[in-house]
Amino acid sequence: MAKHILGNKDANYLEGPKSRSYELLTAFRVFKEFLIGFRGLHFIGPCITVFGSARFTEGHPYYELARKVSFRLSNELGLTILTGGGPGIMEAANRGAREAGGSSIGCNIKLPFEQKENPYLDKFVTMNYFFVRKVLLVKYSYAFVILPGGFGTMDELYETLTLVQTQKIEDFPIVIMGMEYYDQMQSFINSMVAQGTISEKDLHLVKYTDDPEEAVAHIRQYISTNYKAVTRHRPLWWLLEKA
């Protein structure tokens, strides 16, 4: 059974200036949410984060593609599969990891629809703030796989790309799967080069493929070259930590 780690109740904090006490309380809520995420995910090990839509169901080609590539990533590279914890592509990725006997983790978000945690999670945290969730999905990962999705997936993709482009995170591979779905986006990114808003070298930050074997090989090459093993701390009983 998946272990549920506490999430907070949120208020709408994007309505402009409020009282100083309210703003301070919001800052504490955000800080508390980061602490919950850090404590909950501290011992999950190096991850690969899979992004994608919550709206594709079992049997859809993109659902099955996420399931297959996550199975291979978990089975062949031995890394934890981390997702947004919900249904659709996220469920498929967690399911693939579970079927491979690997570790399957979710970082869920409280929403009025779509976003209930999927049944293939070994552990999950539930957040109220999207920006906290995005930090956690990037912080623990050494590679990123993006499958078809909507506004949320685009937000996650472009923020991750920006972090790699600006070297806030370095040498972490980004694989985009769903060639037909992302065909117009790829053309638009090429037009950015033509207009001079990004550099031609930025095109090499992304690997496009629909082949799980090619995706795994690309990520393996990056990780074997750039990943450095780090000593993992053991849980401290007096901090009530659990692996």
Q: Is residue 14 included in any domain, yes or no? A: no
CATH number of residue 162's parent domain: 3.40.50.450
- Please, are residues 114 and 85 in contact by the beta-carbon 8 Å criterion? no
Enter the tokens of residue 180: 């037909």
pLDDT for 13 equals 62
Closest CA to 106 of 120, 8, 175: 120
Residues spanned by the domain of 168: 45-225
Per-residue pLDDT 10s for the chain (243 aa) are: 555 444 434 445 677 788 889 889 989 999 999 999 999 999 998 999 999 999 999 999 999 999 999 999 999 999 999 999 999 999 999 999 999 999 999 999 987 765 689 999 999 999 999 999 999 999 999 999 999 999 999 999 999 999 999 999 888 999 999 999 999 999 999 999 999 999 999 999 999 999 999 999 999 998 888 776 566 677 877 777 777
Burial of residue 204 (CB within 10 Å: 0-12, 13-18, 19+) is exposed
Q: Is residue 241 included in any domain, yes or no? A: no
pLDDT for 240 equals 75
Domain count, the chain: 1
pLDDT for 228 equals 65
Q: Is residue 26 included in any domain, yes or no? A: no
Torsion angle of the four alpha carbons 149, 154, 159, 162, in this order, in degrees rounded to the nearest 10: 110
Output DSSP code: residue 136.
H
pTM for the model: 0.90
Torsions phi, psi for 161 (to 5 deg): -60, -40
pLDDT for 16 equals 79
